[in-house]
């Protein structure tokens, strides 16, 4: 009996996503080996060395792409604005790619990545960890069992208490940052609705801002009678 060698994995980005959602899971699964972590910040480099001494700590993604033969998979957990260019570069280097959500700012950019992966025979996927949330799994099971009967309306939302806007890319109103709550929490809600009920047939949107100084940038989206909403609440 032979055992497949673990996928040699390079993790690009060691902020919140890299530290909490990717590195621990890669390191814990025998099907993967965490061989490299890319981060340019000294404090994060030190943290990565302490937690994952087996991994090479690299200054830039180019160091991974320049030694692509040493890896099988690249996991992209960098800032949202870097997802598309890093994914293209990884695919061009012949690597399989997992991108933290959102994959891209637009459907056109996502389709271009899909075409690039297909042309090179590489796997391209998106990290959607909230497909394993307990409430979502329960609902998915009930739908599969037809325990609820015909579903005419599905409403799902995140409510988060954050009365002040943080000065970082996640809450940036610059479209180039691909920030804002819809690209953040909203990506999970939309993904869950599509998994539960299939492709969207029509899209309806409402918009509003709740916090002083906040700017609306991205649409709220729903599938038919599916409603998704995510708010950062101010009293």
So what's the pLDDT on residue 229?
A: 53
Alpha-carbon distance of 172 to 189, in angstroms, equals 20
The SS3 call for residue 126 is: strand
Alpha-carbon distance of 80 to 170, in angstroms, equals 8
So what's the pLDDT on residue 216?
A: 55
So what's the pLDDT on residue 118?
A: 98
User: In degrees rounded to 5, what are phi and psi of residue 141?
Assistant: -65, -45
Strands in the chain per DSSP E: 7-12, 32-38, 56-58, 73-76, 96-100, 124-127, 154-161, 226-233
The SS3 call for residue 218 is: coil
- Percent of the chain, pLDDT > 70? 87
Alpha-carbon distance of 205 to 145, in angstroms, equals 31
Contacts of 101 (CB under 8 A, 6+ apart): 126, 127, 128, 187, 188, 191
So what's the pLDDT on residue 3?
A: 66
| Contact predicate 23/52, CB 8 Å | yes
In the chain, what are the domains? 7-127 (3.40.50.720), 131-233 (3.30.360.10)
Element (H, E) at 178: none
Which residues of the chain carry a pLDDT beneath 70? 1-3, 169, 211, 213-235
Reported pTM = 0.84
So what's the pLDDT on residue 222?
A: 37
| Contact predicate 230/186, CB 8 Å | yes
Query: Directed axis angle between helix 107-120 and helix 83-92, to 10°?
Result: 10
Partners of 154 in the beta sheet?
Answer: 226
Alpha-carbon distance of 186 to 220, in angstroms, equals 8
Alpha-carbon distance of 227 to 235, in angstroms, equals 23
| Contact predicate 71/36, CB 8 Å | yes
The SS3 call for residue 156 is: strand
């Amino acid at each position: 009996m032979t055992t497949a060698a673990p996928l040699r994995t390079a993790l690009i980005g060691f902020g919140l996503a890299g530290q909490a959602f990717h590195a621990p899971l890669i390191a814990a699964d025998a099907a993967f080996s965490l061989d490299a972590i890319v981060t340019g910040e000294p404090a994060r480099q030190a943290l990565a060395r302490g937690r994952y001494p087996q991994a090479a700590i690299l200054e830039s993604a180019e160091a991974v792409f320049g030694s692509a033969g040493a890896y099988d998979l690249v996991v992209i957990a960098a800032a949202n604005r870097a997802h598309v260019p890093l994914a293209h570069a990884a695919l061009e280097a012949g690597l399989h790619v997992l991108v933290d959500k959102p994959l891209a700012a637009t459907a056109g950019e996502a389709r271009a990545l899909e075409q690039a992966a297909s042309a090179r025979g590489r796997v391209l996927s998106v990290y959607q960890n909230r497909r394993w949330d307990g409430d979502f799994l329960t609902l998915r099971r009930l739908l599969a069992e037809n325990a609820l009967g015909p579903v005419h309306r599905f409403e799902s939302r995140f409510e988060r208490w954050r009365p002040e806007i943080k000065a970082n890319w996640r809450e940036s109103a610059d479209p180039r940052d691909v920030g804002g709550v819809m690209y953040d929490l909203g990506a999970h809600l939309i993904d869950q609705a599509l998994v539960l009920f299939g492709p969207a047939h029509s899209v309806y949107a409402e918009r509003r801002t709740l916090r002083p100084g906040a700017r609306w940038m991205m649409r709220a989206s729903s599938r038919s009678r599916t409603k998704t909403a995510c708010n950062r609440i101010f009293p």
